[in-house]
Structure 1
Amino acid sequence: MKVVFIINEKAGNGAAKRKWKNLRKSLQIPYKLEYTEYPGHATEIAKRYATIATKFSDKHLLIAIGGDGTVHEVVQGVITTGEVYIGAISAGSGNDFGRGYETFTEASEIVRFTQQHSNAKVMDIGVLQKNDETLYYINNAGIGFDAYISKISNESKLKRYFNFFRLGKLTYVFFLLKALNRFKTFSIKVIHNGEEQVYDNVWLVVASNQPYFGGGMKISPSSNPSDHNIELTIIYNISRLKLLLLFSTVFFGKHTGIKAVQQYSGEAFEVDIHGEVIGHTDGEFAGITEKNQRIHFGVMHHAWHLARKTS
């Protein structure tokens, strides 16, 4: 099995670079090394190795060292490629992938997987479609407040300072407070199983393939990335102060019984967004909706293979 490390040295303000430096000291197997240089580069790298693996029926293990964005890009490049396994070493600011999926922490775990790769698990991937555009997400995709927070966080120099002082988990909370008075709510219509429901004063719509977002918030406690379903969470009709209090309960997954929270579970949802609202996939900017634009949230079964620790 060929082993390739795909490293985003900027992730976690250098955390990825430090983790690789420590890992390679005890890595006793052949490997190739690739460094990302710009947004989307990890996807290009992964596609290149996926093509080789498919052409020559040659098993590859691609290990992303970086944050959620790095893993997101790597998985994009290998969708439906059976010869490729994806592993990860969490080294970002939020690291929600590492909470919802099993990841590597030591060189010995990687070596064991190359010897006994039967422990890989087939995973679903979330699908977001709007107009003629199709986007994918391994963690979650959102329209509204969470996407707005992700955008201002990714554009701010303060995020680097949080990472420098190893306070990456507080990044989302800090920018949540900053965004609270700026964001304008919107209305939506959800179509599911032939039934329609309108929601006003909506803060966010999140489609989840695993439980976590925002650096450890358990937004969708029942989500499972291999059960062929996604969960749709809507937070609506709630004041700014109460929203802030609600978010304090999300870390523990205790928000689902609150009146302002509506959750659905299923294979697909259509959502009409009645305004120009920002969107994201796995925390990456996914454009701004047009007024009354219909968004399709769905799930693709058996989309990629997760490399897991082997006992």
Structure 2
Amino acid sequence: MQRKEKLLFVVNPISGYGKKDQIGALIDKYLDHHKYEYQLFKTNFPGHARELAQKAVSDETDMVIAVGGDGTINEIVNVLAKTQVKLGIIPLGSGNGLGRHVGIPLNPKKAINSINKGKCLPIDTCLVNGVTFVNMAGVGFEAYISKVFNESNERGLLTYLKCVIQHFNNYRTESYEFMVEGKLIKQRYLTIAFANSQQYGNNAYVAPRASIKDGYLDVVFVQTFPFYYWPVLIFKTLTKKLHTSRYIKTHRTKHFHLKAEHPVPMHVDGDFHSSLADFQVEIQPKSLNLIVGKEVI
């Protein structure tokens, strides 16, 4: 008789929209019990998902499933990267950037079915100052907004846009310096994004040409732009045309060193991390085994 794979579902009960009370019943009903046996735990505090993933690795669990958003995924990825333990996703966060990129349905029943199919793809992860991320990291305005958004009592794209509009005019841009093709560049930017996949979430594509399996990181530089340009920028973001904007530059690399004149906020997979002035970013090719829902670029 074939051995059943051991699964651990890690549920973040406060991520995204609504309650997660029904997820256990859905897993019990729709998971393929001929292939899998499972445990389910809910997180109780920041960092709890990481602790649960560490225990899963030591217990020789075959797959850890993040039931939540990109922040929950990030905690788990920081443990699973460079191990043989697979990552599954039931995307129940606010943006669900990674889940959307790899075709995991937002409907929990259909997401569970993706786990049943078990299509596994080795993907890249990235490091910023030694911290692993799998979707997006960044510095400057977007990181500042991630902090404001995470402190808000409301979730969703409209709340995020509201935070952006409220703080845009008051944010002070920073001067950065870095090397591109042997040339030292020093310039002020509103935001610099480190993109492993294509989108923040909610189909907002900041790096539409990025790939999570090409062994490269896409660095996206956003210059300051006038307030009236926001509708154009949002349209380009939602239609995968952001790279065509005159305010956007993109650099593809395996390693990137960035210095800011003063400490600036940094986010990692959508969660504010810290304020620093020096950033070392690098790719970790094919370092995570991810359950996907479609062919992925």
TM-score by shorter chain over 0.5: yes
The answer to whether the aligner puts 1:301 opposite 2:285 as a matched pair is yes
Contact kept, 8 Å, 2:208 with 2:240, in 1: the verdict is yes
Which residue of the partner structure matches residue 168 of structure 2? Answer: 180
Q: What TM-score, normalized to structure 2? A: 0.88
- SS for the counterpart of 2:282 is strand
Distance 1:106 1:262 in 2: 35
Contact kept, 8 Å, 2:216 with 2:253, in 1: the verdict is yes
Q: Percent identity?
A: 25
Match of 1:32 among 30, 36, 39: 39
Which residue of the partner structure matches residue 46 of structure 1? Answer: 53
Distance 1:284 1:72 in 2: 9
Q: Deviations over 1:97-130 (max 9, x none)?
A: 11112436244443342xxxxx31111111111x
1:28 deviation in Å?
A: 4.7
Number of equivalences: 284
The answer to whether the aligner puts 1:275 opposite 2:279 as a matched pair is no
Matching residue's letter, 1:9: P
Which residue of the partner structure matches residue 121 of structure 2? Answer: 121
Change (3 A) 1:244 1:203: farther
Which residue of the partner structure matches residue 229 of structure 2? Answer: 242
Matching residue's letter, 2:133: Y
Which residue of the partner structure matches residue 170 of structure 1? Answer: 158
Which residue of the partner structure matches residue 56 of structure 1? Answer: none
Change (3 A) 1:185 1:309: closer
Matching residue's letter, 1:274: E
Q: Deviations over 1:143-184 (max 9, x none)?
A: 01111111101001233xxxxxxxx23232121112212211
Distance 2:216 2:241 in 1: 21
Matching residue's letter, 1:194: G
- SS for the counterpart of 1:25 is helix
Which residue of the partner structure matches residue 6 of structure 1? Answer: 10
Change (3 A) 1:247 1:196: farther
Match of 2:212 among 225, 229, 232: 225
1:243 deviation in Å?
A: 4.5
- SS for the counterpart of 1:181 is coil
Which residue of the partner structure matches residue 63 of structure 2? Answer: 61
The answer to whether the aligner puts 1:157 opposite 2:153 as a matched pair is yes
Contact kept, 8 Å, 2:102 with 2:294, in 1: the verdict is no
- SS for the counterpart of 2:76 is helix
Distance 2:28 2:171 in 1: 45
Q: Deviations over 1:256-296 (max 9, x none)?
A: 1222111100101111111232110111112112xxx3211
Which residue of the partner structure matches residue 116 of structure 1? Answer: none
- SS for the counterpart of 2:221 is strand
Contiguous gaps of at least 5 residues in structure 1: 54-58, 114-118, 160-167
Change (3 A) 1:309 1:294: closer
Contact kept, 8 Å, 1:169 with 1:216, in 2: the verdict is no
Q: Which moved more, 1:64-73 or 1:21-30?
A: 21-30
1:306 deviation in Å?
A: 0.4
Which residue of the partner structure matches residue 164 of structure 1? Answer: none
Indicate the RMSD between aligned Cα atoms, in angstroms: 2.1
